[in-house]
């Protein structure tokens, strides 16, 4: 019988699980709530219980699995299989995730950070088309990324390779949580888009629904900005989209010039803006790349949605 892979996507609100074939087809999937109480001490035991429960439910044994792969927030030591500093899980001290899960399930375990794992997923079964050189960028609450070169994730000397969110796109820009200025994350995350909108609104004097809503003190989201730009042709919203996609195109251009991947995949909540967003990033990407890169590196939208995590995690186990 063919051996299976088990992928886990650990997040601050849910833990998603999937059993996959070696060729990446999801056969079973389920999820549990993430219990972050008591310093996140329930998370790993809950994961072990859930795996063992589902294996017995499906009449499966640990021997039928090649391994378990997991994507997690926080700083990951991939060799030791430990995690620290995952604040949305309340994991502030070192967590022996690999050791505990291997002991509790009797299945080999591999772990990496969530953005890297999503990059593997999109590279394997999504927009990356299983090409060896793929860059993934996720535009969500923050901006994350993962870089696959020659079929392998890049980690760097301190595990920081692929931290695309902290690429500087405006040296005089907004302060970032990392301590420097003008990081891509400060302008292209969901909150970043709203920050750009507020900044441009201050100097804007024309007629705009977005401007009126901001002046009224309404809460707006990045989704509102993209919808007003695309559907209402709102002047200020279009200016915001132009500025955000300029920064994204600049970052993608420099990634393209440095790495020349077959594809730069754009995912995360902000990418729900779809082709309207992608085509504008591509226009600036072309402006900031030299001819050979411009012609060979493509800008694409992510295809796997929230399954990228479990699929990429499963591929870690291969
Ligand atoms: Zn930063």
Measure the CA–CA gap between 182 and 144, rounded to whole angstroms: 15
Per-residue pLDDT, 1: 65
Q: How far is the CA of 143 from the centre of ligand 1 (A)?
A: 9
Measure the CA–CA gap between 113 and 138, rounded to whole angstroms: 13
Q: How far is the CA of 200 from the centre of ligand 1 (A)?
A: 21
Q: How far is the CA of 167 from the centre of ligand 1 (A)?
A: 7
For residue 71, give the H/E element and its range. strand 65-72
Q: How far is the CA of 209 from the centre of ligand 1 (A)?
A: 31
Q: How far is the CA of 182 from the centre of ligand 1 (A)?
A: 7
Q: Is the separation of the CB atoms in 261 and 285 below 8 Å?
A: no
Q: How far is the CA of 318 from the centre of ligand 1 (A)?
A: 33
Cα 66 from chain centroid? 25
For residue 149, give the H/E element and its range. strand 143-149
Q: How far is the CA of 228 from the centre of ligand 1 (A)?
A: 28
Q: How far is the CA of 140 from the centre of ligand 1 (A)?
A: 14
Measure the CA–CA gap between 225 and 222, rounded to whole angstroms: 5
pLDDT tens for the chain, residues 1 to 318: 689 999 999 999 999 999 999 999 999 999 999 999 999 999 999 999 999 999 999 999 999 999 999 999 999 999 999 999 998 999 999 999 999 999 999 999 999 999 999 999 999 999 999 999 999 999 998 999 999 999 999 999 988 999 999 999 999 999 999 999 999 999 999 999 999 999 999 999 999 999 999 999 999 999 999 999 999 999 999 999 999 999 999 999 999 999 999 999 999 999 999 999 999 999 999 999 999 999 999 999 999 988 999 999 999 998
Closest CA to 140 of 302, 315, 314: 302
Torsional sign, CA 103, 104, 105, 110 = negative
Q: How far is the CA of 181 from the centre of ligand 1 (A)?
A: 7
Would the pTM of this model clear 0.85, i.e. be above it? yes
Per-residue pLDDT, 100: 98
Q: How far is the CA of 141 from the centre of ligand 1 (A)?
A: 13
Q: How far is the CA of 317 from the centre of ligand 1 (A)?
A: 31
Q: How far is the CA of 180 from the centre of ligand 1 (A)?
A: 6
H helices within 106-166, ranges in order?
114-125
What tokens does 126 get? 């999504």
Per-residue pLDDT, 235: 97
Place of tokens 């796997």: 304
Q: How far is the CA of 159 from the centre of ligand 1 (A)?
A: 16
Q: How far is the CA of 13 from the centre of ligand 1 (A)?
A: 24
Per-residue pLDDT, 2: 86
Q: How far is the CA of 165 from the centre of ligand 1 (A)?
A: 6
Going from the C-alpha of 153 to that of each of 146, 156, 271, the distances in angstroms are: 7, 10, 22
Q: How far is the CA of 72 from the centre of ligand 1 (A)?
A: 20
What tokens does 100 get? 């505990």
Measure the CA–CA gap between 118 and 267, rounded to whole angstroms: 9
Q: How far is the CA of 177 from the centre of ligand 1 (A)?
A: 6
Query: Could you tell me the domains of the chain?
Result: 4-120+307-317 (3.30.420.40), 130-302 (3.30.420.40)
């Amino acid at each position: 019988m063919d051996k299976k892979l088990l992928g886990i996507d650990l997040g601050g609100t849910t833990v998603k699980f999937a059993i996959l074939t070696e060729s990446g087809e999801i056969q079973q999937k389920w999820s549990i709530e993430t219990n972050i109480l008591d310093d996140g001490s329930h998370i790993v035991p809950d994961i072990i219980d859930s795996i063992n429960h589902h294996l017995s439910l499906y009449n499966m044994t640990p021997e039928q699995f090649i391994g378990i792969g997991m994507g997690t927030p926080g700083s990951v030591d991939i060799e030791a299989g430990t995690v620290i500093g995952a604040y949305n899980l309340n994991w502030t001290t070192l967590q022996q995730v690999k050791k505990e899960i291997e002991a509790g399930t009797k299945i080999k375990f591999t772990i990496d950070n969530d953005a890297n794992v999503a990059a593997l997923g999109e590279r394997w079964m999504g927009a990356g088309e299983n090409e060896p050189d793929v860059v993934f960028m996720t535009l969500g609450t923050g901006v994350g990324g993962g870089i696959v070169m020659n079929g392998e994730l890049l980690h760097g000397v301190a595990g920081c390779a692929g931290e695309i969110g902290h690429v500087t796109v405006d040296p005089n820009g907004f302060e970032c949580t990392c301590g420097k200025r003008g990081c891509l994350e400060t302008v292209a995350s969901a909150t970043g888009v709203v920050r750009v909108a507020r900044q441009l609104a201050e100097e804007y004097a024309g007629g705009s629904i977005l401007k009126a809503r901001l002046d009224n003190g309404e809460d707006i989201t990045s989704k509102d900005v993209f919808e007003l730009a695309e559907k209402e042709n709102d002047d200020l919203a279009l200016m915001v989209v132009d500025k955000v996609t300029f920064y994204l195109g600049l970052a993608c251009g420099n990634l393209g010039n440095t790495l020349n991947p077959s594809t730069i995949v754009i995912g995360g909540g902000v990418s729900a803006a779809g082709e309207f967003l992608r085509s504008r990033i591509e226009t600036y990407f072309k402006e900031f790349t030299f001819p050979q890169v411009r012609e060979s590196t493509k800008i694409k939208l992510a295809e796997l949605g929230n399954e990228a995590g479990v699929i990429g995690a499963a591929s870690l186990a291969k």
